[in-house]
Amino acid sequence: MPVYVLAFGVAFSFFMFVIPSKSFITKVIFCIGLSAAANLLFVIFAPDWAMAVLGGS
């Protein structure tokens, strides 16, 4: 299992509890947006590491 998939799973379950919204859909959308932002930051600030992780090497 790639590292980023594991990290997404941990972050997803964490934020599902933390986000104070009663709506499940809102939580899902928020989590997806948050993980997308995190991935973008990885690509910007650590391109070599991000490519290695995304490439699976």
- Counting the structural domains of the chain, the total is 1
pLDDT tens readout for residues 2-43: 676 677 777 777 777 776 777 878 777 877 787 777 777 777
Let me know the angle formed at the C-alpha of 10 by 30 and 47, rounded to the nearest 5 degrees: 80
What domain range includes position 44?
3-55
Segment 49-57 mean pLDDT = 65
Euclidean distance between CA atoms 42 and 36, whole angstroms: 10
Q: pLDDT value at position 25?
A: 82
**pTM listed for this prediction:** 0.42
- Kindly tell me if the per-residue pLDDT of 57 is higher than 70: no
Band (pLDDT 50/70/90 cuts) for residue 55 is low
